[in-house]
Amino acid sequence: MGETKPVLLAEQEYHGRMFVDQRKKGSRCGYPGSRLGSQKSWHKAIWFKLALLRRLPTRDRLRSWGLNVPEKCLRCSAAVETHHHRFFECQFLASIWTFFAGSVWRPNPPQDIHSAAAWICMDRNSSSAQARCIIKLMFQSTVYLIWRERNRRIFALTSSSANSVRCAIDRQIRDSLLSLSASPRVQPSMPQFFLACTRPP
Ligand SMILES: [Zn+2]
């Protein structure tokens, strides 16, 4: 089988390749007919691996290395910027996560990145194939765009509203779903499923 062409922009590459089911190295994302994840495992999505390992250079880590940087979250200034705070504890970011996860990931979406990853890697869960694949996309898109927004605030001195970040995540998920090959065997289709259970940001 020939290699699948990348379908997303360079900036979205890590996200667009999707992460592969960790249970079977080299397997696909678990959705029949999905092209996502056919090229690289999520182990090669370095930034995402670093996030799961709590190795992204959050301020608490930078300070542990002796670097003279402020310790507070640069979004809310209400707590030390740790991985847990950055990914879901911060109110700004929690509102983004809840907006998406609450619509598909029912009844109770995980409240932190590691609980979410553990849920995704479970051998069995009650969600449909469509929901599981969209949850993976949603999870990875959210982590990626939250980290990108954080870096833009630091390095480009620009900031985005929560709604802007939600719109970017929504756009990225839609682009990824529309890049899939349609399969008449799977109904409703992935885009149909996503549109039916979410609302525009
Ligand atoms: Zn914060």
pTM of the model: 0.71
Cα of 151 from ligand 1 centre, angstroms: 14
Position 24 scores a pLDDT of 39
Closest CA to 31 of 195, 185, 142: 185
CA of 159 to the centre of ligand 1 (A): 14
pLDDT (tens, 9 = 90+) of the chain, 201 residues, equals: 333 333 332 222 233 333 333 333 433 433 333 344 444 444 446 777 777 778 888 999 999 999 999 999 988 999 999 988 988 789 888 888 888 888 877 777 887 777 887 877 775 666 677 888 888 888 888 888 988 898 898 888 888 999 999 999 999 999 988 988 888 887 888 888 888 888 778
Counts of helices then strands in the chain (DSSP H, E): 9, 0
Tokens representing residue 31 in the block:
């959705």
CA of 99 to the centre of ligand 1 (A): 17
CA–centroid distance, 77 to ligand 1, in Å, is 6
For position 35, what pLDDT does the model report?
42
Which residues, listed in sequence order, are joined to residue 80 by a DSSP beta bridge?
Answer: 72
- How is the chain split into domains, by residue range? 11-197
Exposure pattern of 45-79 as b/e (b: 16+ CB <10 Å)? beebbebbebebebbbbeeeeeeebeeebebeeeb
Cα 86 to averaged position of ligand 1 atoms, centre (Å): 6
Cα of 84 from ligand 1 centre, angstroms: 10
In the reported structure, the alpha carbon of residue 197 is separated from the centroid of ligand 1 by a whole-number distance in angstroms of 28
